[in-house]
Structure 1
Amino acid sequence: MGMSVTISAATDHDAEQILKLQYLCYQGEAELYGDYSIAPLTQTLAELRAELAAGCVLVARLGDEVVGSVRGAAGPEGTAVISGMIVHPRMQRHGLGGRLLAAVESRLAAEGATRFRLATGHRNEGTLRLYRKWGYAQVATEQVTRKLTLVTMEKGLKEQQETAPVREDAAEAALATSV
């Protein structure tokens, strides 16, 4: 019998595993843009620990191994910013990204968020597809470098509630395992 993936709040003890997973997951992104100096690849353990202490950081675990993570912070105007979503390459395309997204949205909505915002690189088709599937729409672009344009996407609480039934199994599982 196999183990199931659980989603819970990250602890300080998860920091090293998250950082290693982040480094692994962002190699492809760096390759897409020919830039290995992107923030996720240069973040220090101390910086990550500060994020853990300051905001909402969730991890997906398979047994004791961290196989996914996502971060979020509710803003004063009701707009929550979601960032740093990572899923171990061997766990991709099994719905874990959607479960993480649903879990962080649920957690941030409980903290008063009425709108969700996130950003990704313009060449990251898989991530853009996932976010569209979960109801996000492009609201802005920003050229960061000659090779990289960030695509900012948003959805409101209404869209969050409307997209949940589309993937009811994943959303329910995420909510059942979120902290």
Structure 2
Amino acid sequence: MGMSVIISAATAQDAEQILKLQYLCFQSEAELYGNYRIDPLVQTLDSVRAEIATNLVFVARLGDEVVGSVRGSTDQDGTGQIARLCVHPRLQGHGLGARLLRAAESGLVDERSATRFRLHTGHRSEGNLRLYQRAGYAPVGNETGRDGVRLILLEKDVTAPAYVASA
């Protein structure tokens, strides 16, 4: 292969590739919950374009192909909200998700002055939960999403270690 995966800010031209990647990546989540109407699968292209215009959106590129993506925004109390982290199935398990997560965290601190981070994942998404806990996130509660999926809410302070060794 010989190419390196580069992480950079998304541009408006990336919207279609991000949406297609998201649709591919979240199929396994939909299957896990028996719900093919989960939010990432029903998002529109215009909505992705709006997120790129207003939020921090990072992509992982392998050549010209978008192979990973993550979104970040801040709420009124300075908490960085991280969402829609996805990595192409053929590249999962090589640390790309962790790299995208760190890019979102860094961007939220540097560009939006975030003081803490919050994200969520489905309660059955064990791989996601492992990734987030290794990255220093701790469960702080749960809620049911608009799509009916029970979500685990996780947070960490910006001063928390970027990566916690697993036991």
Q: Output the CA distance in 1 between the equivalents of 2:11 and 2:145.
A: 32
User: Structure 1 residue runs of 4+, over 3 Å off?
Assistant: 143-147
Q: Output the CA distance in 1 between the equivalents of 2:115 and 2:145.
A: 28
Per-residue CA deviations over 1:80-138 (Å, capped at 9, x if unaligned) read 10001000000000000000001110010112001000000000000000000000000
Q: Do 1:33 and 1:147's aligned partners in 2 also have CA atoms closer than 8 Å?
A: no
Per-residue CA deviations over 1:64-87 (Å, capped at 9, x if unaligned) read 000000000022311010001000
Q: Output the CA distance in 2 between the equivalents of 1:144 and 1:19.
A: 20
Structure 2 length as normaliser, TM-score? 0.93
2:115 alignment partner in structure 1: 114
Q: Do 2:15 and 2:48's aligned partners in 1 also have CA atoms closer than 8 Å?
A: yes
Q: Output the CA distance in 1 between the equivalents of 2:130 and 2:86.
A: 15
Structure 1 length as normaliser, TM-score? 0.87
Measured at CA, do residues 28 and 56 of structure 1 come closer, stay the same or move farther in structure 2, by a change above 3 Å? Answer: same
Which has the larger displacement, 135-144 or 117-126? Answer: 135-144
Q: Name stretches of at least 5 consecutive residues in structure 2 with no aligned partner.
A: none
CA RMSD of aligned residues (A): 1.7
1:86 alignment partner in structure 2: 86
Q: Do 2:26 and 2:41's aligned partners in 1 also have CA atoms closer than 8 Å?
A: yes
In percent, how many aligned pairs have the same letter?
60
1:65 alignment partner in structure 2: 65
1:145 deviates by 8.0
Q: Give the aligned length.
A: 164
Measured at CA, do residues 101 and 146 of structure 1 come closer, stay the same or move farther in structure 2, by a change above 3 Å? Answer: closer
Determine whether 1:141 maps to 2:138: no
2:105 alignment partner in structure 1: 105
Q: Output the CA distance in 1 between the equivalents of 2:104 and 2:164.
A: 16
Q: Do 1:15 and 1:49's aligned partners in 2 also have CA atoms closer than 8 Å?
A: yes
1:146 deviates by 10
Measured at CA, do residues 40 and 145 of structure 1 come closer, stay the same or move farther in structure 2, by a change above 3 Å? Answer: closer
Q: Name stretches of at least 5 consecutive residues in structure 1 with no aligned partner.
A: 167-179
1:144 deviates by 4.2
Counterparts of 1:33-52 in structure 2 under 5 Å? 33-52=33-52
Q: Output the CA distance in 2 between the equivalents of 1:66 and 1:5.
A: 9
Which structure dedicates a bigger proportion of its chain to helix? 1
1:163 alignment partner in structure 2: 162
